[in-house]
Amino acid sequence: MAEAVRLEREDEVAVLVIDSPPVNALGLAVRAGLADGLAAALADDGVKAIVIRAEGRTFPAGADISEFGKPPQDPWLPEVCNRIEASPKPVVAAVHGTALGGGFEVALSAHWRIALASAKVGLPEVTLGILPGAGGTQRTPRLIGAEQALDMMISGKPVPAAKALAMGLLDEVVDDDLPGAALRLARRLIAEGAAPRPTRDRRDGMRDAVAYEQAVAAARKAQGANRLPGPRRIVDCVEAALLLPFDQGLHFERTAFQELVASPEAAGLRHAFFSERRAAKMPEAASPARPVAHVAVVGGGLMGAGIAYACLSAGYNVSLMERDREGLARGLERIAKLQESAVAKGRMSAAQREADWARLSGVMDMAQLAGADLAIEAVFEDFDVKADVLRGLDAVLKPGAVLATNTSYLDVDALAAVTARPADVVGLHFFSPAHVMRLLEIVVGKATAPDAVATGLALAKKLGKVAVRSGVCDGFIGNRILTAYRQVAEFLVEDGATPAQVDRAMRAFGMPLGPFEVSDMAGLQIAWARRKRLAATRDPAKRYVAVADRLCEAGRFGQSTGKGWYRYDGRKAVEDPEVLAIIEAERAAKGITPRSFADAEISTRLMVAMANEGARILAEGIALRPSDIDVVKLFGYGFPRWEGGPMHWADGFGILQLKNAVQDYAEQAPDFWQPAPNLDAMILNGTRFADLNEG
Ligand code: 3HC
Ligand code: NAI
């Protein structure tokens, strides 16, 4: 424990070296080590100045998030920061890596800040539903004023060292040998007899009180509509920094921090943070990934082009294959457009575009894909078409190449079985738009080799995606839950709600769009084709809502045709009496007397449907752990991050309540509303989904 912080001595300089891998988070041992080391340095008359630096990857990346929600243990971080700032001997913070949150607050408490040019500093607490709670809201605006401080804290975005220097957050930036440079600075301070320079006494950013108040007022207005309390409380704290003496400002900040850290939104955001990192821990991660330099993408449609573009941007050589000249030209054009748009938005340099383009080749003959290390098929969602493509790839690819399918619903085991190398076949399910959405479902078939899975995981990392492991089932994790969600949305409409009401209820819950708005955006054709395909095998005893079929029969395919569940004035969705009449006719045909639903009941039913399907997915071993299901929904479907995901939501709702709700809803569709088989044992043992996340 004691070694979390070492006290070293360089002549008259005491160096506190923080050494607590992986990110030097400010857990109890580090806080205690800093406090003890500081006390020892202050007690030693031979010490004239103090340097705080860190070993390993980074200066502390923040408070230890895993300690939030548990009883606080002395010494508190704000107290440690105050003691550093109160040091009668000058203190220098030497920053490398990412000095974030509490880590940067430690640096702000030092009297001088020196950083490596590659370092970043930031206050990302808002992304965890909280605010800087160790003086950050009080010290930052003292240095750089309200406008920039608010921007840093409300966006949560880290600031590169050069910019931080220009802003006045840092005093010096060096290219290398940070420990040496920090020592030299400390020795210079000693030589100059420099007095400590506490940030609390500085007013650099507060000289123009009118501008300060204006920035606060503007931010307050901008955050007025934000449903999350964090940003609003940050504005309050920054205002308090101007209006209150420092110690009272700190007290104000502490009160706001404690209120936020205990909020359900912060718990949801913390869950999202750890769940994202946990998802990468799949059993196959221990296998070495197969080397991949050349990716083949078959199918240059919406998905294929996005996947190819993402792979090019990540540095892979890419071959795009299409069936004919026109298809290939369209696919390459799509990629070129994505590049152009990235250049126009300043996300890619023109030189980068050229270099990426030079690594792209377009082909129409599968034999030309022979050199690929990984092939991803993104052709039509049709078993026979995909099977043909996979057979073709099997025939030309070298041994050891990975064959991936981007299928949304088809059986990956059956697809693997058409090849002579099912161990090399894996599902890599991207989400649209493929270069934007962070989720990648890695679908592991019964024959898939562990190192083929590890290859998918390595690809995800290189593309900056969050990979989640899924077993094989219809729709895998994400689309299977989506199907349940849509099904209940349609039950609700047929039973008396309007599409607009259902959408409104889900937007109020926090979804960016409601289920019908999403359907209209994605287009109704593909699902319709699928329903027609499945019609012959549909169980007539199961409740089936045919409204979407009627819409398609009327040529209402969604936004692209100007009408779907809504009518469109440009992009604006307008409720359409024609749709309401179609719904009314369906109800009448089935003898349904419409009833009214409160918005809260609508969102609860839809959430219960998602959580119950998630539980079933877990019971079948399709998902490794509940938090993986949450990650799928958060990164692939726009689920509100502060709600943590459907399984985290279900923990808050209660497992017994979940089961009771499913049973209460049974009359709506007895075949659908069946409690997941694992709920009883969970209720009996008092287990929550969170208890099943470890590992
Ligand atoms: N507390 C606890 N654990 C943390 C942590 C933190 N602040 N930051 C990272 N970790 C853990 C991760 O969970 C992960 O653990 P694992 O290996 O067991 O999965 C490990 O450290 C490595 O993290 P990453 O996988 O994220 O590593 P990267 O190199 O990709 O990213 C990072 C490093 C940019 C520092 C990133 O981890 C990050 O953004 N961390 C959180 C930063 C943050 O939000 N800080 C503010 C905390 S709140 C605070 O300080 C309150 C204060 O104001 C009082
Ligand atoms: P799309 O219709 O836009 O593109 C398919 C492309 O494949 C077409 O350009 C077509 O010419 C080409 N193609 C067909 N047969 C081919 C062959 N034998 N050889 C070479 N090229 C061939 O379809 P989209 O939307 O890109 O979907 C592709 C796959 O991705 C499907 O399996 C789909 O289920 C899946 N998917 C789609 C998502 C979406 O939102 N559209 C999301 C996630 C997965």
The total number of residues written for the chain in this structure: 695
Amino acid, res. 488:
V
Instruction: Kindly report the CATH number assigned to the domain that includes residue 243.
Output: 3.90.226.10
Same-domain pairing of 115 and 232: yes
In a mutational test of the pocket of ligand 2, which residue from 380, 386, 391 has the highest number of ligand atoms less than 8 Å from its CB? 380
| CB burial string 177-207: b at 16+ within 10 A, e below | ebbebbbbbbbebbeeeeebebbbeeeebbe
Residue 518 placed within a domain = yes
Last residue of a domain, one of 444, 470, 496: 470
Whether residue 77 has its Cβ less than 6 Å from ligand 1: yes
The least confident of 68-82, 107-121, 500-514, 613-627 is: 68-82
- Report which of 545, 579, 577, 526 is spatially closest to residue 380, judged by C-alpha positions: 526
Is residue 363 in contact with ligand 2, taking CB distance under 6 Å?
A: no
| Ligand 1, atom 45: closest residue by C-alpha | 62
Mean pLDDT, range 279-292, rounded to an integer: 97
Report yes or no: 110 and 92 within 8 Å, Cβ to Cβ: yes
Summarize the confidence of residues 199-209 as an average pLDDT.
Answer: 96
How confident is residue 71, by pLDDT bands cut at 50, 70 and 90?
Answer: confident
Q: Which atom of ligand 1 is nearest to the CA of 156?
A: 44
Same domain assignment for residues 438 and 482: no
Same domain for 299 and 414, yes or no, is: yes
| Residues contacting residue 300 through CB under 8 Å, at least 6 positions apart | 308, 320, 321, 322, 327, 328, 330, 331, 332, 334, 335, 362
Residues 96, 229: Cα–Cα separation, whole Å: 31
Task: Give every CB contact of residue 22 below 8 A, 6+ residues apart in sequence.
Answer: 56, 57
Residues 503 and 651 occupy one common structural domain = yes
Give the distance (Å) from ligand 2 centre to CA of residue 616.
Answer: 29
Ligand 1 atom with the smallest distance to the CA of 274 is 13
331 within a domain of the structure (yes/no): yes
Please write the tens of the pLDDT for every residue from 440-470.
999 999 999 999 999 999 999 999 999 999 9
Compute the distance from residue 406 Cα to the ligand 2 centre, in Å. 8
SS3 7: strand
Whether ligand 2 lies within 6 angstroms of the CB of 612 is answered as no
DSSP string, 550-580: HHHHTT--BGGGTBSSSEEETTEEE--HHHH
Residue 278: strand, helix, or coil: helix
Q: Which of these three, 407, 442, 470, is where a domain ends?
A: 470
Whether 378 is in the pocket of ligand 2, judged by its Cβ within 6 Å, is yes
Mean pLDDT of 55-70: 94
pLDDT of residue 31: 98
Residue 661 CB less than 6 A away from ligand 1:
no
Q: How many domains does the chain have?
A: 3
CATH code of the domain in which 305 resides:
3.40.50.720
Ligand 1 centroid distance, CA of 107 (Å): 17
**DSSP secondary structure string for all residues of 418-430:** TSS-GGGEEEEEE
What burial class does residue 536 get, using C-beta atoms within 10 Å of its C-beta: 0-12 exposed, 13-18 middle, 19+ buried? Answer: exposed
d(Cα 403, Cα 390) in Å, to the nearest integer?
7
Looking at all shown ligands, the one closest to residue 97's CA atom is 1
CB neighbour class for 420 (10 Å; exposed up to 12, middle 13-18, buried from 19)? exposed
Query: How far, in Å, from the CA of 61 to the mean position of ligand 1?
Result: 6
Please list, in sequence order, all residues whose beta carbon lies within 8 angstroms of the beta carbon of residue 209, skipping any fewer than 6 positions away. 242
Between the alpha carbon of residue 353 and those of residues 310, 314, 343, 436, the distances in Å are 12, 12, 8, 17
Q: Which pLDDT score, from 0 to 100, does residue 54 have?
A: 98
Query: Which residues, 6+ apart, have CB-to-CB distance to 681 below 8 Å?
Result: 687
Residue nearest to ligand 1 atom 20, measured at CA: 22
Q: Report d(CA 348, CA 211) in Å as an integer.
A: 35
The answer, yes or no, to whether residue 1 has pLDDT greater than 80, is: no
Is residue 108 located within the same domain as residue 89? yes
Q: What is the mean pLDDT of residues 370-394?
A: 97
Choose the final residue of a domain: 470, 501, 521: 470
Residues 6+ apart with CB under 8 A from 388: none
Order the strands of the 159-160 sheet from edge to edge: 98-100, 120-122, 159-160
Residue 272 lies in a domain: no
Cα 41 from Cα 92, distance rounded (Å): 13
Q: Name the residue among 521, 489, 438 with its Cα closest to residue 607.
A: 489
Kindly state whether residues 483 and 463 are assigned to the same domain.
no
Please determine, for residue 526, whether its predicted confidence score (pLDDT) is greater than 60: yes
Domain assignment present for 65: yes
Give one DSSP letter per residue of 523-551, joined into a string. Answer: -SHHHHHHHHHHGGG--TTS----HHHHH
Say if residue 215's pLDDT is above 80: yes
Pairwise CA distance, residues 560 & 568, whole Å: 9
Residue-averaged pLDDT of the chain: 97
Q: Are residues 129 and 85 in the same domain?
A: yes
Quote the CA–CA distance of 662 and 74 in Å, as a whole number: 45
Q: How far is the CA of 436 from the centre of ligand 2 (A)?
A: 17
Assigned domain for 274 exists: no
Using the 8-state DSSP alphabet, how is residue 230 labeled? Answer: H
- In angstroms, the CA 113 to CA 102 distance is 15
Query: Do 360 and 500 belong together in one domain?
Result: no
Q: What is the pLDDT of residues 158-183, one digit of tens each?
A: 999 999 999 999 999 999 999 999 99
Which structure tokens are listed for 26? 């400010």
Q: Is the pLDDT of residue 2 over 70?
A: no
**Contact (CB, 8 A) for 123 and 237:** no
Query: What ipTM was estimated for this complex?
Result: 0.96
Whether 379 lines ligand 2, by a CB cut-off of 6 Å, is yes
The protein residue with its alpha carbon nearest to ligand 1, atom 53, reads: 132
CA 423 – ligand 1 centroid, Å:
35
253 shares a domain with 354: no
Same domain, 517 and 382: no
**Angle between helical axes of 626-636 and 478-495 (0-180°, round to 10):** 70
Closest CA to 197 of 207, 185, 208: 185
In a domain, 102, yes or no: yes
65 CB less than 6 Å from ligand 1?
Answer: yes
Amino acid at 369: L
Exposed e or buried b per residue across 23-60, where buried means at least 16 C-beta atoms within 10 angstroms of its C-beta: bbbbbebbbbbbbebbeebbeeeebbbbbbbbbeebbb
Tokens linked to 244: 């209150």
Q: Across residues 44-65, what is the average pLDDT? A: 98
Average pLDDT over residues 591-597: 97
Structural domain span for residue 326: 283-470
User: CATH number, domain at 598?
Assistant: 1.10.1040.50
pLDDT at 695: 56
Which of these ranges, 215-219, 222-226, 425-429, has the smallest mean pLDDT?
222-226
Starting at the edge strand found earlier in the chain, the sheet holding 91-95 runs 5-10, 13-18, 49-54, 91-95, 112-116, 172-174
Query: Measured between alpha carbons, how far is 693 from 673 in angstroms, rounded to an integer?
Result: 25
Query: Tokens standing for 342?
Result: 């990235």
Catalytic residues: 105, 125
Which pLDDT tens digit goes with each residue over 567-584?
999 889 999 999 999 999
SS3 623: strand
Mean pLDDT of 608-632: 98
Looking at residue 527, what is its pLDDT? Answer: 86
Ligand 1 centroid distance, CA of 289 (Å) = 25
Ligand 1 and 108: CB distance under 6 A: no
In percent, the amount of the chain with pLDDT more than 70 equals: 100
Residues 138 and 27 both lie in one domain = yes
In a domain, 500, yes or no: yes
Instruction: Tell me whether residue 622 is in a domain.
Output: yes
The confidence score (pLDDT) of residue 694 equals 79
434 and 506 in one domain? no
CB 124 within 8 A of CB 102: no
* 437 CB within 6 A, ligand 2: no
Q: What is the pLDDT of residues 409-445, one digit of tens each?
A: 999 999 999 999 999 999 999 999 999 999 999 999 9
